[in-house]
Amino acid sequence: MMELIVNLLLASCVMLTAAIVYTKDLLLAVVLSGAEGVMVAVIFYLLLAPDIALVQVAAGVGISTAFFIVGLRKLRRHEE
């Protein structure tokens, strides 16, 4: 059961990565990268590594998204 859930989450990570690569809307890409970070944090939680999941939620999801949004403010939102 646990392996099935972890495999589903890994597959959804791959699909989210493909969506991030192919989308033209950079704000949507930032939101989807936040969603992918949450998926990875849930995988770490299910594999019983709560300290790594804490780093992932705080630094990988919270702070990197803030820096992406600040960088996006200085650029254009839509590609091409």
Residues engaged in binding other proteins (CB under 8 A): 10, 14, 17-18, 21-22, 25, 27-28, 30-32, 34-35, 38, 41-42, 45, 50-51, 53-55, 57-59, 61-63, 65-67, 69-74
Cβ-Cβ contacts under 8 Å for 64 (sequence gap 6 or more): 33, 37
SS3 78: strand
Question: Could you tell me the smallest distance in angstroms from the CB atom of residue 57 to other proteins?
Answer: 5
| Min CB(22)–other proteins separation in Å | 7
For residue 11, the minimal CB distance to other proteins (Å) is 9
- Is residue 8 a contact partner of residue 1, using CB atoms and an 8 Å limit? no
The closest of 40, 32, 42 to 68, measured between CA atoms, is: 32
